[in-house]
Structures are given as structure tokens and as C-alpha cells.
Amino acid sequence: MSNNERHLARVAGLDISLIPTFWAGTGLLILLISGGLLLLTDASLLAALGGGLLGTALYWLAEILHHFGHAIAAQRTGHPMIGVRLGVFLILGTSLYPQNEGDLPAALHIRRASGGPITSAILGLIFIAAGALLIQAAGEAGSDLGAWVLGFGLLNLLYFSLGALIPIMGMTDGSTILYWRKRL
């Protein structure tokens, strides 16, 4: 852990930490989500800000759950993760592995990299279905909750699953999978 990195918690055997850019990314997310709510809904400024805070908290929760998917896959390979660092490139996290784990087969790297997108896809589908059911069953009173649940599902499915598979300059699961597929 570097001097700038701050330990946040230990959850399920993983050290969760943040680097200073986490705060800049959090502020950016709050602004983007609040601004989107102001532009696209009839929310008041205070309601939009509250929505921005809620949306940002849900974003970071989805990020952590995505990395727990990597951790489950890594544990199953016998080469587990040791932590998650939040704030990489402002709004991303990264899975942390032991420095001394040695050379590992390409297929093992692919299995570990696939765990996050698979977990996010499963969560996404579950929350999309739950959100749609809430919207349909609850009528006007439950439509806001249903919209948030549906949005959380879409975030997981589209961004943390499908989006994570797009190979972008070594920053995504798709980049890791592509790199190691070439070495099979």
C-alpha cells in the first residue's frame, strides 16, 4: 500500500482501499448524475443532489461487487486476490493480487478476469427483472424505487459486464482476456 492509499475496510478477506483520485471521481459522478436528473426529470435541485449521492453510492457498490466476482473466480483457481483499490482513473477500481504469485498460466488469468463481468451480468439481470416488477406492480408509488433498481441493474449489465469486456488500453477485463488469449 502506498503512502497516498487509505485502507477503507476488510470485507470477505479483501482489503478495500482508496487512492486520492477516488474523491475526484466521486465528485464527478455526483455532478454527472445530479445534472442528468436535473435535465431529464422534474426533480428539484435538492432532490437531484440526493439522487446524485444515491447514484454515486450505487455506482461504487456495483464496482465493489464486480471485484468480488473477480475474487470468487480467483479463489476458485487457487490464486486468490488480496484486495481492491478504488479510484483508479477516477471512477474505476482494480483487483489486487499478491506480488509474489509467480508465473501463472494464461487460462488462469482469463478465468480470474472473467469473474467480474459474469457476476455483474448476473446481478444486472436480477436487478433489471426486480426493477421491472416493482414498476409494474407498485404503480406510481413504487415507480421511483423501481427506476433506481432498474437503473442499478442496467449499470451492472451494460457498464460493469458488457462494457468491462471492451478491450481499452490495458484498463479493462476485456484487455486482460485478449492479452492472455493470445498467449494460450
Spans of all domains in the chain: 6-181
pTM, to two decimals: 0.94
* Residue pLDDT, tens place only, 127-148: 999 999 999 887 766 688 999 9
Q: Within 78-183, where are the H helices?
A: 106-154, 173-181
Mean pLDDT in residue range 74-86: 97
Give the integer Cα–Cα distance in Å for 120 and 126: 10
The helix/strand count (H/E) of the chain reads as 4, 4
Q: Is the pLDDT of residue 68 over 80?
A: yes
Mean pLDDT in residue range 146-175: 96
Residue 84, SS3 per DSSP? strand
* Residue pLDDT, tens place only, 111-121: 999 999 999 99
Q: Give me the count of residues in the chain.
A: 184
